[in-house]
Structure 1
Amino acid sequence: MADNVNSDVKGKTPSASQIEMTELVLPNDTNLLGNLLGGRLMHWMDIAGAMVATRHSNKTVATVALDSLDFRHPVRMGELVILKAKMTWAGKTSMEVAINVYAENMKTGNVILTNKAYLTFVALGTDCKPSVVPPLIPETDDEKKDYIEAEQRRNERLKKRAKE
């Protein structure tokens, strides 16, 4: 119904919906080696991404894809996990969010990039069907580059899906 009508939807910039989320790695979050469980990190990344997509669309969102999650460095018990999430692309009903994850050793102050991923969300209307989202208006050169690269990732996903 009205949820699926794109009548003069005002665009938003990536900075309007970006978030930073911080978690402390506790014993229950770790494996036998004292490193953060990959599944726990993925859970936090999904939450951070959903917050950004919800802020952008002002709607309930569902995760539909996760692209290229890289595990570059372990995060250890007692470290802070800092998740920085920002919109990179918006289509008619779907949105891509880039999430960079950093580990901070609070004793030394050292901060290191540990993970990066792109998550795609679809906005849902009150009828739980895909719903129109505001366009994304990239402002900086980096945001414009991110937008183009996000479209390329989307096209690759669609090609892959068509082959299945």
Structure 2
Amino acid sequence: MSEENFKYCKESKVVKTSRVFPLDTNNHQTLFGGKLMSYIDDIASISAARHSRSETVTASMDSVDFLEPIGQKESVCLESYVTWVGTSSMEVFVKVIKENLMSGERRLAATSFLTFVSLDENGKPKRVPQVMPETEEEIMLHQTAKQRAEERKSRRKHSKALADALGTDKPWA
């Protein structure tokens, strides 16, 4: 593979750290799940744009696995990078780490996989470079990406069938 046809995972890596304030929390004094999901989509979109150097759109948020609550007075650090690509699609992994700012203890709080599609100037899907993993984590995620892509396709097929079955009738009419 020539260097013009691929990019390393690290080239799309993005790190974002935020403090958790009272307005960011729910009635349990932990970070709102929706707030974290917004952070995840935001950081993943930057990784996708860095890899493709084009406009991108979120095609799916495969999963957000909340492993531990993130408390008020903690910080939340998100790390993202492209783990695998199809033709115009990119899988982006986001790792969420919470940190107790007083003790320095860091723990994995959530993980997520998202898919983005690269778009050309006409809004049509655009080919993206392949991705080259280097670290153990990157290699493991790259090697298991094909299975996630197949699961994603299957889930999308079922979602479309469900949408067709449900229709768009107004429930309040």
Letter in 2 for 1:135: Q
Q: 1:58 aligns with which of 45, 50, 53?
A: 53
Bigger mean CA deviation after superposition, 120-129 or 144-153: 144-153
Shift of 1:161: 2.8
Letter in 2 for 1:128: G
Letter in 2 for 1:35: T
The structure with higher relative contact order (CA 8 Å, sep 6+) is 1
Q: What is the 5 A alignment of 1:14-93?
A: 14-93=9-88
Structure 1 residues 61, 149: CA separation in 2 closer, same or farther (over 3 Å shift)? same
Q: 1:147 aligns with which of 142, 146, 158?
A: 142
- The two structures have a TM-score, normalised by structure 1, of 0.89
Q: 1:135 aligns with which of 113, 130, 135?
A: 130
2:111 pairs with 1:121 = no
Shift of 1:105: 0.8
Q: Which whole-Å deviations, capped at 9, do the CAs of 1:109-148 have from their partners, x for residues lacking one?
A: 1111100010111111111121111111223454233112
Letter in 2 for 1:86: Y
SS at match of 1:42: helix
Shift of 1:16: 1.1
Report if aligned partners of 1:61, 1:122 keep a CA contact under 8 Å in 2: yes
- The runs of at least 4 aligned residues of structure 1 exceeding 4 Å deviation read none
Long gaps (5+) in structure 1: 1-7
- The two structures have a TM-score, normalised by structure 2, of 0.85
Q: What is the aligned partner in structure 2 of residue 3 from structure 1? A: none
The percent identity for this pair of structures is 37
* Partner Cα distance (2:83, 2:91) in 1: 6
* Partner Cα distance (1:9, 1:131) in 2: 15
Report if aligned partners of 1:9, 1:135 keep a CA contact under 8 Å in 2: no
Shift of 1:9: 5.0
Shift of 1:160: 3.0
Letter in 1 for 2:74: E
